[in-house]
Structure 1
Amino acid sequence: MALTQGARNKIKSIVQSAKKLLMKEFESQLQQYYGIRPDGTCLLVEELTSREASVIETARLLRQRLHYLEEGIAGSNKAPEAVRQLIREQAFTILNRFAAVRMSEERNIIRESIRRGYNSEGFLVYDQLTGGAKTAEQFTRYTWYIGHVFDELAIDLPAVFDRFSPYALLFPSEKVLLELLEIINDEDLNIYRESGHQPINLWTEDETIGWIFQYYNSREEISEMREASGAPRNSRELAVRNQFFTPRYVVQFLVDNSLGRQWFEMTKGQTALVDSCQYMVKREQEIFLEKGEEIPEAKIEGANYIEHRQLKDPREILMLDPACGSMHFGLYCFDLFEQIYLEAWDNHPELMIDLRDKYMRDDFIKHIPGYILRYNIHGVDIDPRAIQIAGLSLWLRAQKSYDKLGLQPADRPAISKSNLVIAEPMPGDAHLLSEFTKSLPGPIGKLVRVIWDKMQFAGETGLLLKIEEELKKEIEIAKAEYKEYKNTSAQSTLFASPAESKAAQMAAIYGKGQKIKKDFFDTAEEEVLKALKGFSENAEGEDAFKKLLFAEDTARGFAFIELCRKRYDVIVMNPPFGAAAEKSKDYIDSNYLLSKADLASAFIDRMIEVCQTNGMVSSITTRTLYFIGSHKEWRKQNIIGNQRVKYFVDLGGGVLDAMVETCATVYSLQETIDTAFIRITKDENKQEALLAALNDSRNAFFIKNIYDFLSISNYPFCYWLDNKTLNFFQNTKKFETSSSYVRQGLGTADNFRFIRSFWEVNKSYWKKYLLGEGTIRYYNDSKAVTNWKNNGYELKNFYNSSGKIKSRVQGEDSYFHPGISWAYRTEKFQPHVVSEGEITGVKRYKAVFFDDAERDLILYTTALWNSKYFDYCIKLSMEKDYQPRFINGLVNLLPNPKVSSNLKEKLIEISKKQFYSVKYRFRIDEKSRMFSDNKFIHFENLSSYVDYRERSLMDLKNEFKSSLIIQDKLVFDEFEITKDEQNDIDEIVLKAGVNEEGEEFIETKISIINSVSSIIFGCVYGRWDLRILKFWNIDWSDEEIFKDRKHSPFFYGPKESTLDLVLPEYHCKINEMWEMPYPIEVFEEVASVSDINPITDKLKEV
């Protein structure tokens, strides 16, 4: 059962409390008892105040552990970081052990040991048998007892409970131990109650241990890491940033449709998994093909033809989680594997012959948990804590099976082997490496040194490190060197040439008796592991513990290599996403050319490599991989080109405990013609929504050929796309041609230096500059100008202190040319006409047309692009259609259709009408070049004018919205978009927001009053020419849409640029006005409108 948010919050609370308690305790112990300070400085062991042998020995081991940790830490701040890492790992191990014991108690695996502290049944029995108070203090006796419990559990779980583990050198004091037990035995964990749910014991839930693992690192700590560095700085940061527990329903979907699906196909549907795998995608008619049989040309409509899949011995079905964390995927795989083993025994007598000769059915069933852990489930993680938790999770799951079989703990088969591996560098002590390799045969010693070097990135890359390929290359090199140097003398003369010296060196390695065989690596691994055992067992003195650590880490390194060399039938994962760790970036960049931008896509590529040729890879990842422009080539070549996607669930947000939108994807290495897509992005209860979609009870299921996505710019996974729109993209030429294209605007890099308001300057080389992110449909006015003196010489030569150009003078061929512009960050695509003489800013884009009919094309295209349908078309290519970015690349790749002449004419008329409607809004704005409205003068009072202006704006707003509706209908009709398809389009278009159209026409009473007052003050101080303002008639204005307007016609004084705004037949009227004196009546008339007497008096004085 999946835990509720309330239950998870309870676990989070106890984990953070226990962590804080233990870390404070161990920091204190390190200083008080062991002479280790937070800055990494240490007292000599001889200087410690305690003379107890146990304290002295622990102090030595702690120092060796610190030294070992420092070897693996990059940078200059090694010592303090090593101490912090030591405290973290010791605290986590204690918490993990006590949580494991508590869970074991509840599963009746061990006697009650910590549930009631010193009064626990197990301890009381131990006390009775050992003499109790006669032997030692109660706390001491309890620590002895707990140590024995750990030893008993270590038989099956050495990674968690090993008494000699370097992760468990410290133990809490009595005071802290009792506080820890109080936290762990919180009654709310034993019986967690939540309204609307049955009470549960959280210690009996399989998920609990996974949430303990995730919540050990707080969100605050992760936020601090992200603030300090955009990319992870080391393996720990990479691990911590990406520890997100996968919800159970996502796990089930991914496993049901990979492991479950494979067994379903192997058995041709004759399996109980059909019913138990409730998230398996099932088609109405599944047709299983025989071996060698091909899909018939005359296919049954709606049928799913399944290629023959060979039945396998369950022990040969290998599952891998490459970023296993707490092994949530493995726990559910365990459930399915149990059923698979039972069905293989009962229904397929040709399988597992060796086991049938050895066991009866009842005995065989007892060994199934051990077989699953020994043969089937494999896991890797870069965090050693994760491997502890994963091992514990699987062990507890095996015990659960034994409990169902009624096996008492003493009768349960021992778990002798599992396949959980830490990805980490080989130990960094060069002295120990040299000492160890000298004990190996020449070729093997050389190979070990090479592996040591190649494994340095393992902690940051995990399974992305292609160590098996590196190893294969080195073995081939070794074979060639052996062949070349096997008969060469190992002796060299004093005056030997470089070639002779090298030959002697190689001969020493590949001398007599050293042979390179085909199974060289297998032999080498066996030799190395045997030598490591002897190396650690024979170690003496102060270096003994370091050599033990060295040997253990080396053995783990070879286990990692062995795991990399296997090929898996099923891979399920929640891989890390985002940037690679700093240390491994170069390796990732050079080995994952198309997927290097995000670790998640790199993991997908890598897992496809280590998967069997007919295997499956399932993952939950960020959905942006399938939409973002930076991954277009990855999608095209690695995913779409190979047609690998079998199932795709678009989950949206709210799935992982992170601000990321996700999807669940199943890849098949067999070519997949049709992909099943499920959309539940907007559903709050995604589990119910997914089940409903799988049961075909809602409209969320899509079947698509992903090859069709290549028709859309950026190749996004727009699976919801209707066939008409798909054909529209496939069969229509793109907008970008030699005569029409989109360019990004000018970036000054210093607006304070290069940008002014147009009324601040009066020089011809200051050119109109459309600044800012905001945009308005059809028309927008530029109030800014930029310095374009000498063709922008100063801008083009604006360098920084390093001699690099700072400004971005780009798309210069579009400058001063009429066209269409828009801001790149808006909720909807809202382009507007750009007149002559204008430059657009860097946060804007501009489409230009070089055609004889360019002006009609601009007007027609402006209306077409302002339609919902084209807003939808461009958003198809976006990774976040709810946070759209209308960049030039997407618009250049928009279809540019040939439409009927009737539609084109209607759209041109709509564009003109909308242009003039919006233009009115700027005519009444004195800060606009378009300011040309003097109606307020002709009203008896200000109140009447305010009412008139409000009504006018509201009427324009309604007309504007009506025209948008008419425009949308015309476009929808032209492309035959149905009502249902329009509803789907609305869902995409409105996702970014539902702000009402025409907001630019809204103006408050106070703003209108302030506007009039400002104009009057402008008259007083000589900004506006009262003669023009008094007698101006809007009919005199040259209203040509693309005209370059320098300023308002009301600017004070005679100006040639003012006459340029007026139709030629009215030039004489303007000249007559300029010749008029300033009559006092004009001032009085203007002032009287304000209803403010002091202003009237002031105007009379002027």
Structure 2
Amino acid sequence: MDKKIISKFAIDSHLELVEAVRLRLAVLGITEEAISSPLPESTQQAEFFPQLNGEPLTGDDILRRRKIVAHLSEVSSKGNSHFEDFVEEVAYTWFNRILAIRFMEVNDYLPSGTRVLSSTEGKSEPDILVYANDLEQELGGYSKDDHKLIEAAWETQSPSTMDRLYQILFMKQIKILSKQLPQVFEPLDDYMQLLFVPSYHQGFIPELVRSIPEASFDLDNDDSHGQVQLIGWLYQYYNTDQKTKAIEQPKSHKFRGTEIASATQIFTPDWIVRYMLQNSVGKLWIKSLLAKGDSRSETEIAEHFQWQYYMPEAAQPDDVQLLIDVKDGQLSDLRPEQLTILDPSMGSGHMLVYAFDLLMQIYLDQGYSQRITATNIIQNNLFGLDLDKRATQLASFSVMMKLRHYDRRALIKGNLPKLFTVNSFGDLTTDQLELAYPEVTEKQKNAFRSAITVFTNANVTGSLTEIGNLDIAPLAGLFELNQATIASGDLSERVGQLINICQILAKKYEVVVTNPPYMGSSRMDDTLANFAKKHYPNAKADLFAMFLEHFQESVVPGGYCAMVTMQSWMFLSSFESLRQTLLAKYTISNLMHMENNVMGIAFGTAVTITRNASLTNFIGTYHQIKTSDVASGKIPSHVPIAGNRYNRTNQANFGKIAGNPISYWISPAVIAAFDAMPVSNYGKVKSGIMVNSGFLKQWYEVPAPEIIQNARQQADIKGFSWVPINSGGGYMR
């Protein structure tokens, strides 16, 4: 996979699509500055605008334009940045859907079995255009006008007529897919047809087909690692411009919801994802096998599954091993269906997709069939949340494609992954609820109001939203009520999302795994900053630290939490209280400390895998990855890496050092030094002579004869003007 090509394609595509949407809106008389009114010669059947050069809008297009204007006016009335956000949303809608369709056509997953973006016969027109006459049933039927357009397009082969036909066929395919993959191909607002800007013969679509090899999309191509890395990198690179704009804002600028998503997107390299899941989900399953009586060692079981980054636990003191045996013994009844996994900041779904692969290994090893396993994983094992709707769409798509890979009928069965976007539900009211569910009880309405209040600021708090003592049971009961025919699909879907998100946030998991957003408190707006101070006083300095603290509580006793975060929590004084709490309540099983740029970002990071158990004197495994280990695209084949820092140590040792730094590399001799009697027991430690800087000179500023060099007492200074003084100078990092 050539990331330079992927980067250029995604960045160029973003700029192209955004500009195309902006130009299309301008042609419709809609700009950021003003919205044009129809010219006087307009009628009910035809509306004229100066920008259309005499060509009127007719029929449904008149209504579509009015819907665009109404949508922008509504958003603007709420004080939001409306126009640019709308342009970005439309552009990404086409990017997202076309990327998904490309993946599906390469793997022959499209319901029609016909390519939408490319030709299997090397023609310049996509197969959906070439075989339009044969696809009426597969695309949901044609109207008389559709038949006329197909005939006219191929008779004249006029570029504008062919483009119009392609747009109609494309939208018909989207409509079919929205029924099978509603989380990805959400039913489009009707006005989106008026803003269809991609072209099959120039720009984004042919460039996608030309520049990125089909093998990169092919799930059966082992070298590509499936679609996971490709979709993840495309998503990150597409957001490059938005991320740059957000980060380059003045330090005083506070990020709002959409900016938080753009500014904090960091794709986790595949080998790090594997390390995290093999040493959390994998470790828990290996422990359950040993508890069931498996005679193999940890290493032998890991080798059986080909988990190349798995690190067996160190030999433990007898008293610690006794505690571990008791806790691990409770895993003897653990079944694959019970291995629940949450990614609370899932991004494009990279961790969830590898979790799918790892779970597939576990199920198959227990004798399950592939098809049953794939369905079980979707229904029982995987859960995900994100602040960014676009990320949720891609994550859902990635997981569903895994399901489809193992079950050919998956897309028509209606099984959907439990992946959701956490946001505000302020658009919902109890009046709407009563219309949708006539049998709703007063208790359910009260629970509904409480839930809506809880998510008031969820556009910025996301997965960290505190649901407290919210009574979820009455909400879940809404699923069992009959819906009124007046209830729209959108309302039912929104209520369902609210209930599902509440249930996910309330649930405990065997494993939580994620790469949380990294954002310091200086970028938090008042809402998020006050939320952080109230709920996370020990972690308020950064979003990642808030995730690190919060989601330890979402793990069942004996389960694992695996996060890749900035390394700063390990050392900085601002996180000292957080370290003390984590070390007191949880046990560090593994910590992989990574130098700058190992993750492709210019600061150090760390994978921390903790167990929800307080195991005093547990010997954890700590090791280092250097920048040189991943230089020029290298990928570590195993861990630990010879020559790098590596230690197996008791986390209680960190408490012996002032500030509790996670100094895993220090030797037993250094630790012993901290066990010794402190200097303060021998006397008071003072800073020494403090002199006003106005009386200080550099050596070269004073004549040498005026300096006394070896004064032992005050009398020695007589006759000299200057006395040497040791001073460390100003503060330096």
Fold shared, TM-score > 0.5 on shorter chain: yes
Asked if 1:222 is matched to 2:222, the reply is no
- Number of corresponding residues: 665
Amino acid at match of 1:38: E
How far apart, CA to CA, are the structure 2 residues paired with 1:159 and 1:681? 39
Asked if 1:266 is matched to 2:288, the reply is yes
The change in CA–CA distance for 1:102 and 1:736 in structure 2 (over 3 A counts) is farther
Matches within 5 A, 1:514-553: 521-527=472-478, 534=484, 538=486, 552-553=493-494
Question: Any idea what SS the aligned residue of 1:178 has?
Answer: coil
Q: What's the counterpart of residue 31 of structure 2? A: 37
Question: Any idea what SS the aligned residue of 1:93 has?
Answer: helix
Tell me by how many angstroms 1:655 deviates. 2.5
Question: Any idea what SS the aligned residue of 2:565 has?
Answer: strand
Asked if 1:281 is matched to 2:311, the reply is yes
Tell me by how many angstroms 1:378 deviates. 0.7
How far apart, CA to CA, are the structure 2 residues paired with 1:428 and 1:768? 62
Asked if 1:573 is matched to 2:576, the reply is no
Conservation of the 8 A alpha-carbon contact between 2:215 and 2:224: yes
Q: What's the counterpart of residue 591 of structure 1? A: 535
How far apart, CA to CA, are the structure 1 residues paired with 2:284 and 2:588? 15
How far apart, CA to CA, are the structure 2 residues paired with 1:634 and 1:99? 41
Matches within 5 A, 1:946-985: none
Conservation of the 8 A alpha-carbon contact between 1:21 and 1:176: no
Tell me by how many angstroms 1:162 deviates. 3.1
Higher deviation after alignment, 390-399 or 424-433? 424-433
Asked if 1:388 is matched to 2:336, the reply is no
How far apart, CA to CA, are the structure 1 residues paired with 2:570 and 2:17? 43
Question: Any idea what SS the aligned residue of 1:466 has?
Answer: coil
Asked if 1:420 is matched to 2:419, the reply is yes
Match for residue 146 of structure 1 among 170, 173, 178: 170
Conservation of the 8 A alpha-carbon contact between 2:6 and 2:212: no
Q: Deviations over 1:709-758 (max 9, x none)?
A: 11112111111101111111221314699832449989xxxxxxxxxxxx
Asked if 1:653 is matched to 2:596, the reply is yes
Match for residue 249 of structure 1 among 253, 271, 276: 271
Conservation of the 8 A alpha-carbon contact between 2:67 and 2:191: no
Q: What's the counterpart of residue 366 of structure 1? A: 371
How far apart, CA to CA, are the structure 1 residues paired with 2:183 and 2:175? 12
How far apart, CA to CA, are the structure 2 residues paired with 1:456 and 1:85? 21
Conservation of the 8 A alpha-carbon contact between 1:370 and 1:413: no
Matches within 5 A, 1:978-1017: none
Q: What's the counterpart of residue 114 of structure 1? A: 117
How far apart, CA to CA, are the structure 2 residues paired with 1:526 and 1:39? 47
How far apart, CA to CA, are the structure 2 residues paired with 1:226 and 1:430? 39
The change in CA–CA distance for 1:610 and 1:102 in structure 2 (over 3 A counts) is same
Matches within 5 A, 1:738-817: 739-742=684-687, 768-769=693-694, 782=697
Identity %: 17
Higher deviation after alignment, 665-674 or 213-222? 213-222
Conservation of the 8 A alpha-carbon contact between 2:344 and 2:385: yes
How far apart, CA to CA, are the structure 2 residues paired with 1:722 and 1:697? 18
Match for residue 656 of structure 2 among 711, 718, 743: 711
Q: What's the counterpart of residue 577 of structure 2? A: 633
Conservation of the 8 A alpha-carbon contact between 2:404 and 2:410: no
How far apart, CA to CA, are the structure 2 residues paired with 1:744 and 1:691? 56
Asked if 1:663 is matched to 2:596, the reply is no
Match for residue 12 of structure 1 among 7, 10, 20: 7
- Bigger relative contact order, structure 1 or 2, given CA contacts below 8 A and separation 6+? 2
Q: What's the counterpart of residue 234 of structure 2? A: 212
Q: What's the counterpart of residue 457 of structure 1? A: 457
Amino acid at match of 2:32: P
Tell me by how many angstroms 1:565 deviates. 1.6
Tell me by how many angstroms 1:16 deviates. 1.7
Amino acid at match of 1:256: Q
Match for residue 125 of structure 1 among 114, 131, 135: 131
Q: What's the counterpart of residue 557 of structure 2? A: 613
Conservation of the 8 A alpha-carbon contact between 2:646 and 2:665: no
Asked if 1:310 is matched to 2:332, the reply is yes
How far apart, CA to CA, are the structure 1 residues paired with 2:689 and 2:185? 61
Conservation of the 8 A alpha-carbon contact between 1:643 and 1:707: no
Tell me by how many angstroms 1:665 deviates. 1.0
Tell me by how many angstroms 1:452 deviates. 1.8
The change in CA–CA distance for 1:272 and 1:51 in structure 2 (over 3 A counts) is same
Amino acid at match of 1:29: R
Amino acid at match of 2:382: I
Conservation of the 8 A alpha-carbon contact between 2:200 and 2:206: no
After TM superposition, the score normalised by the length of structure 2 is: 0.81
Q: Deviations over 1:187-229 (max 9, x none)?
A: 454579xxxxxx9997964311111111121257435444334
Amino acid at match of 2:478: E
Conservation of the 8 A alpha-carbon contact between 1:264 and 1:274: no
Question: Any idea what SS the aligned residue of 1:326 has?
Answer: coil
Q: What's the counterpart of residue 101 of structure 1? A: 101
Match for residue 397 of structure 1 among 395, 402, 415: 402
Asked if 1:55 is matched to 2:61, the reply is yes
Instruction: Report which of the two structures shows the higher radius of gyration computed on alpha carbons.
Output: 1
Asked if 1:155 is matched to 2:179, the reply is yes
Q: What's the counterpart of residue 384 of structure 2? A: 379
After TM superposition, the score normalised by the length of structure 1 is: 0.55
Q: What's the counterpart of residue 517 of structure 1? A: none
Conservation of the 8 A alpha-carbon contact between 1:367 and 1:413: no
How far apart, CA to CA, are the structure 1 residues paired with 2:688 and 2:133? 83
The change in CA–CA distance for 1:223 and 1:466 in structure 2 (over 3 A counts) is same
Asked if 1:559 is matched to 2:500, the reply is yes
Tell me by how many angstroms 1:55 deviates. 1.4
Conservation of the 8 A alpha-carbon contact between 1:680 and 1:689: no
Q: What's the counterpart of residue 720 of structure 1? A: 665
How far apart, CA to CA, are the structure 2 residues paired with 1:102 and 1:744? 73
Conservation of the 8 A alpha-carbon contact between 1:650 and 1:680: yes
Amino acid at match of 2:310: M
Asked if 1:642 is matched to 2:663, the reply is no
Asked if 1:729 is matched to 2:674, the reply is yes
How far apart, CA to CA, are the structure 2 residues paired with 1:219 and 1:401? 37
How far apart, CA to CA, are the structure 1 residues paired with 2:129 and 2:452? 46
Amino acid at match of 2:417: S
Tell me by how many angstroms 1:659 deviates. 2.0
Amino acid at match of 1:782: K
How far apart, CA to CA, are the structure 2 residues paired with 1:693 and 1:410? 40
Q: What's the counterpart of residue 179 of structure 1? A: 203
Amino acid at match of 1:721: I
Amino acid at match of 1:53: G
Q: Deviations over 1:1042-1100 (max 9, x none)?
A: 8999xxxxxxxxxxx9944499xxxxxxxxxxxxxxxxxxxxxxxxxxxxxxxxxxxxx
Tell me by how many angstroms 1:120 deviates. 2.6
Match for residue 26 of structure 1 among 21, 44, 68: 21
Question: Any idea what SS the aligned residue of 2:598 has?
Answer: coil
Conservation of the 8 A alpha-carbon contact between 2:274 and 2:309: yes
How far apart, CA to CA, are the structure 1 residues paired with 2:537 and 2:252? 21
How far apart, CA to CA, are the structure 1 residues paired with 2:240 and 2:165? 35
Segments of 5+ residues of structure 1 without an aligned counterpart are 193-198, 287-294, 347-360, 403-408, 473-520, 540-546, 747-766, 771-780, 784-921, 933-1033, 1046-1056, 1064-1102
Q: Deviations over 1:379-431 (max 9, x none)?
A: 100000001110111122223334xxxxxx56876351210011000134779
Q: What's the counterpart of residue 969 of structure 1? A: none
Tell me by how many angstroms 1:622 deviates. 0.3
Q: Deviations over 1:925-954 (max 9, x none)?
A: 2xx23x22xxxxxxxxxxxxxxxxxxxxxx
Tell me by how many angstroms 1:306 deviates. 7.8
Tell me by how many angstroms 1:671 deviates. 2.7
How far apart, CA to CA, are the structure 2 residues paired with 1:743 and 1:220? 53
Matches within 5 A, 1:897-936: 922=699, 925=700, 928-929=701-702, 931-932=703-704
Amino acid at match of 2:127: E
Q: What's the counterpart of residue 709 of structure 2? A: 1039
The change in CA–CA distance for 1:191 and 1:297 in structure 2 (over 3 A counts) is closer
